[in-house]
Structure 1
Amino acid sequence: MPDASFLSQKGSKAAQNPIRVDLKIYSEAMENLYHPQTNPSGTLPMNIAENQLCWEILRERIQKVTREKDIPDWVANYTDSNGAPSFRKATAGFLSKFLFHCPVDPDSLALSVGATSVIEMTSFLLANPGDTAVIPAPSYPVYTGDIGNLPGVLRYDLQLPGEFNESEYDFEISLLDQARAEIEDKGSQFRLLILTSPDNPTGKIYREDHLRAIAQWCIKNQTHLIVNEIYALSQIDIRHPELKSDYPNPAPFVSFGKLMQEFQSPFLHFWYSFSKDFGISGFRIGLLHSHNTALIQGYQNAGAGHCISNYTQWVMQEVLDDSAFLASFFKEFQTLLTQAYLSFTKGLRNLHIPFNPSRGSLFVWMDLSEFLEEKSYAGEEKLWLDIFNTTSLLLTPPQGFGHQQRGWYRAVITSLRPNEMEVALKRLETFVEKRRKERI
């Protein structure tokens, strides 16, 4: 590796610390992918949060746009750094119809290149270096870098009570008071509270009454609450006959955008990205929604380096304006997602492997702790590597999720086609049965 001493302190740190612990092995796995005929022993990566289920449907619609529509002149020019006005208008219409179910002002939106950009920019504008963001655990490992690398914000993993066997979070407001006291004792400030609903990796949601109570606490304590709904339309069909017993008294999913419209507070904010629900992570479209006009103005003034390609904005604007297509698209996506979830969880039930019932997201959060040689980070990493080396099945390792219970792993169920899912489950079955026999 080149000498990092010639870089800045942040540059040196970046050169020596990968964005995530599984990136190198993932790159190796992508060079040896499974194919039923040409590479039947190849790898099956289930560690990166990508939605591979519905690209064919969306691609057909996008190709129709590019075949039949003339590219407008504004695409070749500079436009508003918060997003082209016509694209923000189309995005506001999409949020209003499919998520918030209330009016959305296009001027309350700031769009930039993907969720990472939005998280980084929002953290930079709302918090000072050394301030703390509280994030209920377990949660997205890369939040740490997104809020920390450039904004310099610290991460505090809030440990929620209970086991991983519910589809909704039971949130106790007193935990926020405890976190604030602990953070302030360390000389920092509790500046941000970040929730993800449906959550990554558990698939749990936050109930409306809890969101209201959390919002009221944050407004009272002048703490910025950000709800990330990047998986808002990646909903499991909990009414499916083979799944409904896992959800005896489900609360409806209510978008935080609806509550923001009621509160109209400068301390409440919303994140979204097209990467997951639309299955277009490579398009790099993320957004911030806020009624804090100073934040939106600051985003516009500081965000010129984060602008989305105008061509991308135009293409997706045309898609977003087609509400009939979107309704059909998301209905088909939910069916495919539910089928993937049902297939994978059936396999886990047959193997008597516990998992958390999911309301949404692209994941299954499963308990492999019985196979740990020791309940530690080292034990978790060893098991993760053992599974990959013996089965070529690559799960997401537990490191970085911030929770204290050892032995839980994330599987991205949208990363495989149905025939590949069958192979993955068979390989997992072989591993599990072999380990249990060895233990006996």
Structure 2
Amino acid sequence: MKISKRIQNLEPSVTLAATAKVRELKAQGHNVIGLTVGEPDFTTPDNIEQAAIEAIKSGAVSFYTAAGGIPELKEAIIQVTKRDYEIDVKPNQVIVTSGAKFALYALFQTILDKGDEVIIPTPYWVSYGEQVKLAEGVPVFVETVLETDYKVTVEQLNAALTDKTQALMLNSPSNPTGMIYNEKELRAIGEWAVENDVLIISDDIYARLVYNGKHAPYMAAISDEIARQTIIINGVSKTFAMTGWRIGYAIGNAEIIKGMTDIVSQSTSNPTAVSQVASVEALLGDQSTVREMRIAFEERLNTIYPKVAALPGVTLKKPQGAFYLFPNVKGAMEMGGYDNVTTWVNDLLEQEHVALVTGEGFGAPENVRMSYSSSMEDLEEAVVRIRRFIENSQK
């Protein structure tokens, strides 16, 4: 059987692979602490579930919807965008998709021709580059460093700019680093994009998960000119503990949104009807559980961060948002004679049954990603095991 070159060249998701390995080992009876998964460990709030149940019982969600989303959900997105970004958008500037990941996929399929380039600062979420390649585009990775909080500068963007540059991928708060761009930094990047006619893809999926008094400004809220140059990617998965419901959305230029809608109409068709109704309640209903989850994540971060930062051979800055730590483990690797972070991660799993995600899939071959979307007990035990692994590897 023939397999296409695009599939042969596709790198599988390291996060999904790591999570699958954890489930496999747990099924075999191993006491594995999995810190791989990129989702809240809370269940969906009751009011959202109840809205879904009522919609099912009424028969309202038994049928196809419009490919780009039901009007009620688009209106909810418009209201939330007005509240958070202070910008006005129209229904034809909004598309609802089967997860924010598919919003990105449809966007790249819409804006890229063969050879078009997308600038992606590293470290980056694992699917950005692969989705660009699936659209026959070229991901142009720009390396950032711990000393600058893993944030890209205008000078670096100028160095990466070519006549084939179509877009810049920006994620704040970042998966995997948890770092946030401030308003001054966003303005400088936004004005650079406007000046060079580069589309900004602003992945805002973690924007409400920020901690310790920090604030995550929105790129599209900086100015009207920058807003017109920006496509917003968002969804309900992280903020509302709805990863399984698969609802994302994109906001921006009406022509691009129409193109994305055409992609959806020939691929997934409409997002799941009941999930769309539930998402209306998520966006417009009671927000108290959102606050409770954010406070819980903040407590875990403040408890676990100093313990991880104190591990031998580990370098780490405190994240400001999302729910990940992204420590540099180069020193720990060298102590144990390792020259490959994936091997280090695999041996940690085999010997101590702690599952992390290799940084190689994020464009950071000296780092690992640790999710603190887990119980405090598991997080503290994981640090004990990691320390033991590092110390034993020196013997």
* TM-score normalised by structure 2 residue count: 0.90
Note if contact 1:135-1:158 (Cα within 8 Å) is conserved in structure 2.
Answer: yes
Confirm whether residue 233 of structure 1 aligns to residue 233 of structure 2. no
What residue number does 2:138 align with? 154
Q: Residue 68 of structure 2 aligns to which amino acid in structure 1?
A: N
Partners of 2:308 and 2:334 lie apart in 1 by 21
Partners of 1:401 and 1:279 lie apart in 2 by 23
**Once the two structures are superposed, what CA deviation does each residue of 1:161-205 show, in whole Å capped at 9, x if it has no partner?**
x53474x83x43122221124xx5xxxx11110000001111111
Confirm whether residue 27 of structure 1 aligns to residue 20 of structure 2. yes
Which of 118, 126, 144 is the aligned partner of 1:141? Answer: 126
Q: How far does residue 50 in structure 1 lie from its aligned partner after superposition?
A: 1.5
Deviates more, 1:385-394 or 1:70-79: 70-79
Distance 1:432 1:309, change over 3 A: same
What residue number does 1:243 align with? none
What residue number does 1:178 align with? 159
Partners of 2:336 and 2:121 lie apart in 1 by 21
SS of 1:75's partner is coil
What residue number does 2:280 align with? 317
Distance 1:82 1:376, change over 3 A: farther
Confirm whether residue 214 of structure 1 aligns to residue 189 of structure 2. yes
Q: How far does residue 365 in structure 1 lie from its aligned partner after superposition?
A: 1.0
Confirm whether residue 343 of structure 1 aligns to residue 303 of structure 2. yes
Instruction: Percent identity, please.
Output: 19
Distance 1:335 1:121, change over 3 A: same
Note if contact 1:271-1:286 (Cα within 8 Å) is conserved in structure 2.
Answer: yes
Partners of 2:255 and 2:337 lie apart in 1 by 45
Deviates more, 1:343-352 or 1:303-312: 343-352
Deviates more, 1:374-383 or 1:191-200: 374-383
Q: How far does residue 293 in structure 1 lie from its aligned partner after superposition?
A: 1.6
Q: How far does residue 263 in structure 1 lie from its aligned partner after superposition?
A: 1.8
Q: How far does residue 9 in structure 1 lie from its aligned partner after superposition?
A: 3.1
SS of 2:222's partner is helix
Q: How far does residue 88 in structure 1 lie from its aligned partner after superposition?
A: 0.8
Q: How far does residue 66 in structure 1 lie from its aligned partner after superposition?
A: 4.4
What residue number does 2:169 align with? 194
SS of 1:367's partner is coil
Confirm whether residue 6 of structure 1 aligns to residue 10 of structure 2. no
SS of 1:399's partner is helix
Partners of 1:104 and 1:208 lie apart in 2 by 22
Confirm whether residue 276 of structure 1 aligns to residue 238 of structure 2. yes
Partners of 1:152 and 1:119 lie apart in 2 by 14
What residue number does 2:81 align with? 95
Note if contact 1:228-1:272 (Cα within 8 Å) is conserved in structure 2.
Answer: yes
Q: How far does residue 121 in structure 1 lie from its aligned partner after superposition?
A: 0.7
Note if contact 1:100-1:258 (Cα within 8 Å) is conserved in structure 2.
Answer: yes
**Once the two structures are superposed, what CA deviation does each residue of 1:271-307 show, in whole Å capped at 9, x if it has no partner?**
11222222221111111110x1211222222321232
Note if contact 2:93-2:257 (Cα within 8 Å) is conserved in structure 1.
Answer: yes
Q: How far does residue 356 in structure 1 lie from its aligned partner after superposition?
A: 1.9
What residue number does 1:242 align with? none
**Once the two structures are superposed, what CA deviation does each residue of 1:71-98 show, in whole Å capped at 9, x if it has no partner?**
556533333211111111112223333x
Q: How far does residue 401 in structure 1 lie from its aligned partner after superposition?
A: 1.8
Count residues in correspondence. Answer: 392
Q: How far does residue 419 in structure 1 lie from its aligned partner after superposition?
A: 2.0
Note if contact 2:234-2:249 (Cα within 8 Å) is conserved in structure 1.
Answer: yes
What residue number does 1:244 align with? none
Confirm whether residue 113 of structure 1 aligns to residue 88 of structure 2. no
SS of 1:424's partner is helix
Alpha-carbon RMSD across the aligned residues, in angstroms, is 2.7
Which of 346, 357, 372 is the aligned partner of 1:396? Answer: 357
Deviates more, 1:264-273 or 1:117-126: 264-273
Confirm whether residue 381 of structure 1 aligns to residue 342 of structure 2. yes
Which of 372, 375, 379 is the aligned partner of 2:333? Answer: 372
* TM-score normalised by structure 1 residue count: 0.81
Note if contact 1:91-1:106 (Cα within 8 Å) is conserved in structure 2.
Answer: no
Deviates more, 1:215-224 or 1:344-353: 344-353
**Once the two structures are superposed, what CA deviation does each residue of 1:45-88 show, in whole Å capped at 9, x if it has no partner?**
21231211x32xx3422343245567556533333211111111
Q: How far does residue 253 in structure 1 lie from its aligned partner after superposition?
A: 2.2
Note if contact 2:233-2:248 (Cα within 8 Å) is conserved in structure 1.
Answer: yes
SS of 1:303's partner is helix
Q: Residue 276 of structure 1 aligns to which amino acid in structure 2?
A: K
What residue number does 1:430 align with? 388
Q: Residue 336 of structure 1 aligns to which amino acid in structure 2?
A: A
Distance 1:333 1:164, change over 3 A: farther
Q: How far does residue 430 in structure 1 lie from its aligned partner after superposition?
A: 1.6
Q: Residue 298 of structure 2 aligns to which amino acid in structure 1?
A: T
**Once the two structures are superposed, what CA deviation does each residue of 1:384-436 show, in whole Å capped at 9, x if it has no partner?**
11211111111110113224xx522110111x222222221221122233235
Distance 1:68 1:401, change over 3 A: closer
Q: Residue 339 of structure 1 aligns to which amino acid in structure 2?
A: E
Note if contact 1:116-1:146 (Cα within 8 Å) is conserved in structure 2.
Answer: no
Partners of 2:88 and 2:58 lie apart in 1 by 27
Please list, as runs of the form range in 1=range in 2, the aligned pairs for 1:273-312 lying within 5 A after superposition.
273-290=235-252, 292-304=253-265, 305-306=267-268, 307-312=270-275
Distance 1:345 1:165, change over 3 A: farther
SS of 1:411's partner is strand
Partners of 1:382 and 1:276 lie apart in 2 by 30
Q: How far does residue 209 in structure 1 lie from its aligned partner after superposition?
A: 1.8
Question: Structure 2: any 5+ residue segments left out of the alignment?
Answer: none
Question: Structure 1: any 5+ residue segments left out of the alignment?
Answer: 240-249
What residue number does 1:245 align with? none
Partners of 2:308 and 2:226 lie apart in 1 by 44
Confirm whether residue 77 of structure 1 aligns to residue 38 of structure 2. no
**Once the two structures are superposed, what CA deviation does each residue of 1:18-69 show, in whole Å capped at 9, x if it has no partner?**
52246545323203339xxx95x511121231211x32xx342234324556
Note if contact 1:165-1:357 (Cα within 8 Å) is conserved in structure 2.
Answer: no
Partners of 1:124 and 1:70 lie apart in 2 by 33
Q: Residue 413 of structure 1 aligns to which amino acid in structure 2?
A: Y
